[in-house]
Structure 1
């Protein structure tokens, strides 16, 4: 498993690197910030880059028997509800593993006996630094949901076939959940993720 946070790992092609000349902070919000960077390109010309800064997030592929836990939640940017795996942003300095356990419990009420990291991935590296750490949670035990005060969602359990149907219907259309469904399918076929 690669460590996407390791900058040395990603600095292999020096001929393509851009050098930041200046940064202008445009917006500082509760979750994200926006900055405009002026950069020098490899050919010596300058360009601007709009960059969204995000604290990172976790997502959990939670398997309960032969079903996956999902939440149905309204997503303002899409203007509709979306079926997704449990997920949430990292708090400042929070360990992603602990955040994954927290989000699973808050959004579904379940705790897990086993949890392990599957992958980390950037959501939109062309303009954002958001990284999501995807975990697999098993040996689930039901407790009480504890969503954030501004979070309204419904939890359910779906089969792999139902997940593919929801993808087809575009009720599941976010990258983290689609990735989790494909990982779950591979797990069912091979026993390995």
Structure 2
């Protein structure tokens, strides 16, 4: 089945902003009915999110973060995540971000899939990675990075979602993946890390 009746075609592009992190454009597009419209959007370098699974005597705990997110003016609960450096392999990025932000390294990794968090106005794609067989070391935060690390059970996080206390889109998607992995509906293909973590 063809999607031609839905596709928009760019006829002009105007650069609005070239920042250190984001690149914004306003495009003129031709709609399927041949009318013209404008689309403003941000080009994003891509990112990874890690779902770190910590086995404890009390059962599965997940390594989480709390940090202030300036655009929404709130301290948010999130899975560890970070943007890709130019040309960086997403798996290496996942290892780097987990270590830098939480101090954990993982021997077992599984790529779950991707999510598009803000399709209306950004090109951002986030790769979802699961990590287990964790070891705790020293965090390597940037000098201008401030966040708390804690652990929570899946049940605690699901309760926070239900109560509206956990609203980060990528973390909600990660919990959906976790639910389906735990139920056996969405199997993962685990890889053992054989090289040193960056």
SS across alignment from 1:104: helix
Give 2:104's match in structure 1, choosing from 110, 135, 159.
Answer: 110
- Does residue 1:95 correspond to 2:89, yes or no? yes
The range that moved more, 38-47 or 165-174, is: 165-174
The range that moved more, 120-129 or 180-189, is: 180-189
Deviations along 1:61-87, one digit per CA (max 9) or x if unpaired, are 110011000001011112110110000
Structure-2 residue corresponding to 1:27: 17
SS across alignment from 2:130: strand
- Does residue 1:157 correspond to 2:151, yes or no? yes
Deviation at 1:163, TM superposition (A): 0.6
TM-score, structure 2 as length reference: 0.87
The structure richer in helix per residue is 1
- Does residue 1:138 correspond to 2:132, yes or no? yes
Q: Gaps spanning 5+ residues in structure 1: where?
A: 1-10
TM-score, structure 1 as length reference: 0.89
Structure-2 residue corresponding to 1:8: none
Q: How does 1:22-61 map to 2 (within 5 A)?
A: 22-61=12-51
Q: May I ask how many residue pairs the two structures share in their alignment?
A: 183
SS across alignment from 2:114: strand
Deviation at 1:41, TM superposition (A): 1.2
**Misfit runs of 4+, over 4 Å:** none
SS across alignment from 2:87: coil
- C-alpha spacing 1:181/1:129, structure 2 compared with 1 (3 Å): same
Deviation at 1:13, TM superposition (A): 1.3
SS across alignment from 2:53: strand
**Superposed CA RMSD:** 1.6
Deviation at 1:33, TM superposition (A): 1.3
Give 2:74's match in structure 1, choosing from 80, 84, 90.
Answer: 80
- C-alpha spacing 1:192/1:37, structure 2 compared with 1 (3 Å): closer
Structure-2 residue corresponding to 1:5: none
SS across alignment from 2:5: helix
SS across alignment from 1:14: coil
Partner Cα distance (2:53, 2:36) in 1:
49
Q: Gaps spanning 5+ residues in structure 2: where?
A: 188-198
